[in-house]
């Protein structure tokens, strides 16, 4: 690990300012992904700003009837929260489908959104990777691609976003609230938060330099059946090959996001018009622009089958 200096931030404004004013600084909260990457010298910050002392660890009702989740609410606490279990069940389900108990106890809401891909070529610093070292090329393309993305990918990068939580939040129309170093606040719909790789796969989110996530807001509960179904190589503690987060209403309408297939939680609101026609129609619309490799084209049919299982569960 490269040496770095360290400070404990005491205010959100101060944290954002410090990040803007210190060269090569990064925020650290749970640290479960960042430290892993720092040990491998894939992340090499020269300064860490510890945000664990900022509070931001409560879940509160909003005036609109939804909830505001503090950026530092741990994954375990979010999954266990009574209002989340009752009103946003798929979020609770998605959280406990991810990582291990130890990791969920540390990992935070904001950190989960910001975690980086687990593409093996991103992790292998002996190989070129446009996300790790812009302009060096993509080793995954033409390599071992079974786990990698099938839709939203580019010629520069076919990595997936690994989060389960973010897939549920995408189906729930979450909004990410931030503060910038100049004190300005903004709200970013989750649809616009993660970026597709294009030719700049190293730029993964809409956040500006020094911008700090303070909370994630969920709109008022919409009822319906909440389902998160994850297909993976092991029954526990494995990243998704394909996952589906869905809220299905009694009349068959609903909201559906898919994980494990794209560089961001994958949802196409227009495709949801196909929901009542069944899994095949929905999957075809969702993955219309897919460009899988020979090794991962099974994710197309696996998406359809996972959707099919979700729709059957919703009817049952």
Query: Which residues of this chain interact with another protein, rule CB under 8 A?
Result: 1, 3-8, 18, 21-23, 28, 31-32, 35-36, 39, 46-48, 50, 52, 76, 79-80, 85-86, 89, 92-93, 96-97, 99-103, 105-106, 234-237
Alpha-carbon distance values, 146 to 25, 96, 224, 298, 309 (Å): 34, 24, 34, 9, 22
- The smaller minimum CB distance to another protein, of residues 70 and 197, is found at 70
Least CB distance to another protein at residue 100 (A): 3
Structure tokens at 252: 């068959």
Least CB distance to another protein at residue 178 (A): 21
Least CB distance to another protein at residue 280 (A): 28
- The smaller minimum CB distance to another protein, of residues 48 and 156, is found at 48
- For residues 206-225, b (16+ Cβ closer than 10 Å) or e, as one string? ebeebbbbbbbbbeebbebb
Instruction: Report the C-alpha gap between 36 and 218 in whole angstroms.
Output: 30
Least CB distance to another protein at residue 221 (A): 14
SS3 (DSSP) at 42: coil
Instruction: Report the C-alpha gap between 104 and 112 in whole angstroms.
Output: 10
User: Within a 10 A sphere around the Cβ of 177, how many other Cβ atoms?
Assistant: 18
- The smaller minimum CB distance to another protein, of residues 34 and 175, is found at 34
- The smaller minimum CB distance to another protein, of residues 102 and 301, is found at 102
- The smaller minimum CB distance to another protein, of residues 96 and 242, is found at 96
Least CB distance to another protein at residue 8 (A): 7
SS3 (DSSP) at 142: coil
């Amino acid at each position: 690990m490269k040496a770095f200096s360290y400070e404990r931030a005491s205010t959100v404004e101060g944290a954002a300012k410090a990040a803007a004013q210190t060269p090569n600084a990064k925020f650290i909260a749970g640290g479960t992904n960042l430290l892993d990457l720092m040990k491998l010298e894939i992340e090499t910050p020269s300064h860490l700003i510890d945000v664990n002392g900022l509070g931001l660890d409560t879940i509160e009702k909003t005036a609109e009837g939804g909830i505001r989740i503090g950026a530092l609410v741990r994954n375990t606490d979010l999954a266990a929260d009574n209002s989340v279990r009752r009103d946003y069940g798929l979020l609770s389900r998605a959280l406990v489908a991810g990582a291990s108990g130890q990791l969920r106890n540390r990992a935070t809401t904001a950190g989960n959104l910001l975690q980086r891909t687990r593409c093996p070529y991103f992790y292998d610093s002996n190989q070129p990777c446009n996300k790790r070292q812009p302009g060096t090329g993509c080793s995954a393309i033409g390599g071992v691609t079974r786990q990698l993305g099938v839709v939203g990918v580019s010629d520069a990068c076919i990595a997936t976003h690994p989060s389960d939580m973010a897939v549920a939040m995408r189906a729930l129309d979450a909004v990410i609230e931030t503060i910038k170093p100049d004190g300005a606040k903004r709200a970013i719909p989750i649809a616009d938060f993660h970026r597709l790789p294009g030719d700049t796969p190293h730029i993964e989110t809409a956040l500006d330099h020094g911008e700090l996530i303070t909370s994630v807001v969920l709109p008022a509960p919409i009822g319906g059946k909440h389902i998160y179904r994850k297909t993976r190589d092991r029954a526990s503690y494995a990243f998704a090959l394909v996952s589906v987060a869905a809220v299905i209403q009694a009349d068959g309408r609903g909201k559906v996001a898919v994980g494990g297939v794209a560089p961001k939680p994958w949802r196409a609101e227009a495709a949801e018009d196909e929901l009542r026609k069944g899994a095949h129609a929905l999957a075809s619309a969702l993955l219309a622009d897919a460009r899988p490799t020979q090794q991962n084209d099974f994710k197309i049919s696996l998406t359809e089958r996972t959707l099919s299982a979700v729709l059957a569960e919703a009817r049952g």
